[in-house]
Amino acid sequence: MGTDKFPHYSGMDFVPDNAFVIEDAPVRLTCGEHIRSVEFIRRKGTDLIFIEAKSSFANPASSPAPYRTEVSEICEKFIHSLNILSAIKVGAVDEALPAQFDYSGKASLMFILVVRDHKAQWCRPIKRELEQLLPVHIKKIWKPSVYVINSETARKQNLLS
> 113 with 149: CB under 8 angstroms?
yes
pLDDT score at 3: 43
Q: How far apart are CA 161 and CA 158, in angstroms?
A: 7
Mean pLDDT along residues 93-105:
81
CA 49 from chain centre, in angstroms, equals 7
Choose among 61, 83, 57: nearest CA to 71: 57
pLDDT score at 7: 59
Backbone angles phi, psi at 49, to 5 degrees: -110, 115
Mean pLDDT along residues 118-139:
94
Instruction: Encode pLDDT of 36-69 as tens digits.
Output: 999 999 998 889 999 999 999 998 888 899 999 9
pLDDT score at 2: 43
For the chain, the helix, strand and coil percentages under 3-state DSSP, each to the nearest 5:
40, 20, 40
